[in-house]
Amino acid sequence: MRCSKCMLCLLALLTLLALKVYIEWSSDPLWLKRYQEGHESETLTNPSASTFEPSLPANLSGRLGQPGAPATAYWNRQQQLFQALPRVGGSAAGDCQAWGKAAAAKIPDFASYPVAHRRFLLSAACRDYPWWVSGSVVPSCLGSDAPYLLLAVKSSAGRFGERQAIRETWGGPEHGVRLLFLLGSPRGEPGPDLGPLVEWESRRYRDLLLWDFLDVPFNRSLKDVLFLRWLAHHCPQVTFVLRAEDNSFVNIQALLKLLRGLPPASARGLYLGHVFDQALPIRTPKGPYYVPETFYAGPYPAYASGGGYVFAGQLAPWLLRAADRVVPFPIDDVYSGLCFQALGLAPQNHPGFLTNWPAKGKQDNPCIHQRLVLVQPRDPQETIRLWKLMQNRQDHC
């Protein structure tokens, strides 16, 4: 008697389990559902996050979450006391190096930091680098040449295939859209000298912004600052900027549709992408995103993943001013998030931006991509295959 009850229970449980597996297997993945729901109810135009006009208060402690008791971690403490980085120009090189030395002296265990972290902090205030190849090979972006959407893609010298795949697919000619790649020096250390090849590429395609600094991961926020400076001076009238990586895949028509559909108030302060909220610093010393406890304490503020986010072009000069007043931080998308936050702008999450896309499997389905805006990572072969599939399958989804 007891045992038959057990069997009945077990049977019922097994049936439920099978049912659950079947439902999950047969239906769209959860994120896609959420995306579709979000899409239908237009949650992305949430006005509370986006009608803000930028501003930059004299004391950023409140905005950057560092009020109250003096912090002990370097970044948090410095942000409480911080005025601004040394001015660019004049004796800038000496000043910025002195700033780095002074910063290092404030961290008791600085000598035990990984070499990349030490190099970062020592040169973090140096933000004045010349062009590697003259920036003038990039056509004008002023007046009637101002694009509606600028695609600013971070790349590095050796990634020729990634760049070419983007030119042949989502970054190809499109009315009102302009493609640019952001690169540091093609002379790595150590490594082959890719200078002549990159110089040829630069003249052939005229889409490379090339600066003369070491192109390493911890110089990516430097790349952002130099790009913002270029943007503020050479492309001030651009309406929107997409900051992406060379392994991102963009559904350009979906992105244009999204941007054109934004209410004007939301468009002015736009900062939108795949948002990480309350992410914690990684404390394992070997990984690329390691941040020592004596350097930064607490969770990160909400920020949009560097795999791809869009922002309003008119924010460029504001972001530049903020970058002078936010203590340097080695991870580029976190640092951008901090600069937006200094301006009082919170990132808006959009479920069509997926920057930790599952590695292999059904991600090749062009119909799924038809409904997404940006996914990452994709390699050049996948990018080209997917693009072709999407062109052919447009009406069948």
Residues that bind ligand NAG (CB under 6 A): 59, 61-62, 67, 80-81, 116, 119-120, 123, 213-214, 216, 218-219
Provide, rounded to whole angstroms, the least separation between the CB of residue 261 and ligand NAG: 39
Query: Which is closer to ligand NAG, CB of 122 or CB of 254?
Result: 122
Query: Which is closer to ligand NAG, CB of 193 or CB of 364?
Result: 193
- Per-residue DSSP letter, 131: B
Query: Which is closer to ligand NAG, CB of 50 or CB of 123?
Result: 123
Query: Which is closer to ligand NAG, CB of 135 or CB of 317?
Result: 135
CB atoms under 10 Å from CB of 105, counted, come to 9
Provide, rounded to whole angstroms, the least separation between the CB of residue 144 and ligand NAG: 36
Provide, rounded to whole angstroms, the least separation between the CB of residue 307 and ligand NAG: 21
Phi first, then psi: give them for residue 26, nearest 5 degrees. -90, -15
Query: Which is closer to ligand NAG, CB of 245 or CB of 332?
Result: 332
Provide, rounded to whole angstroms, the least separation between the CB of residue 302 and ligand NAG: 20
- What are 298's two structure tokens? 């607490």
- What are 79's two structure tokens? 């942000």
Provide, rounded to whole angstroms, the least separation between the CB of residue 215 and ligand NAG: 8
Provide, rounded to whole angstroms, the least separation between the CB of residue 129 and ligand NAG: 6
Q: What is the four-CA torsion angle of 325, 330, 332, 338, rounded to 10 degrees?
A: -40
Long-range contacts: 223-228, Cβ < 8 Å, 24+?
223/154, 223/182, 223/184, 223/332, 224/323, 224/332, 224/335, 224/336, 225/127, 225/320, 225/323, 226/127, 226/129, 226/182, 227/152, 227/182, 228/316, 228/319, 228/320, 228/323
Provide, rounded to whole angstroms, the least separation between the CB of residue 137 and ligand NAG: 21
Query: Which is closer to ligand NAG, CB of 67 or CB of 176?
Result: 67
Query: Which is closer to ligand NAG, CB of 10 or CB of 81?
Result: 81
Query: Which is closer to ligand NAG, CB of 178 or CB of 325?
Result: 325
* Contact (Cβ atoms closer than 8 angstroms) between residue 243 and residue 235: no
Query: Which is closer to ligand NAG, CB of 123 or CB of 349?
Result: 123
Provide, rounded to whole angstroms, the least separation between the CB of residue 77 and ligand NAG: 11
Give which of 325, 362, 366 is closest to 342, Cα–Cα. Answer: 325
Provide, rounded to whole angstroms, the least separation between the CB of residue 151 and ligand NAG: 24
- Per-residue DSSP letter, 144: G
Burial of 104 (0-12, 13-18, 19+ CB in 10 A): middle
Cβ partners under 8 Å of residue 11, min gap 6? none
DSSP 272-286: EEEEE-SPPPB--TT
**Amino acid (1-letter code) at residue 242:** L
Give which of 116, 211, 117, 200 is closest to 156, Cα–Cα. Answer: 211
Query: Which is closer to ligand NAG, CB of 317 or CB of 344?
Result: 344
Provide, rounded to whole angstroms, the least separation between the CB of residue 359 and ligand NAG: 29
Strands of the 303-312 sheet, one edge to the other:
208-210, 177-183, 149-154, 240-245, 303-312, 271-276, 348-349
- What are 32's two structure tokens? 């896609």
Q: How many helices (H) and strands (E) does the chain have?
A: 15, 10
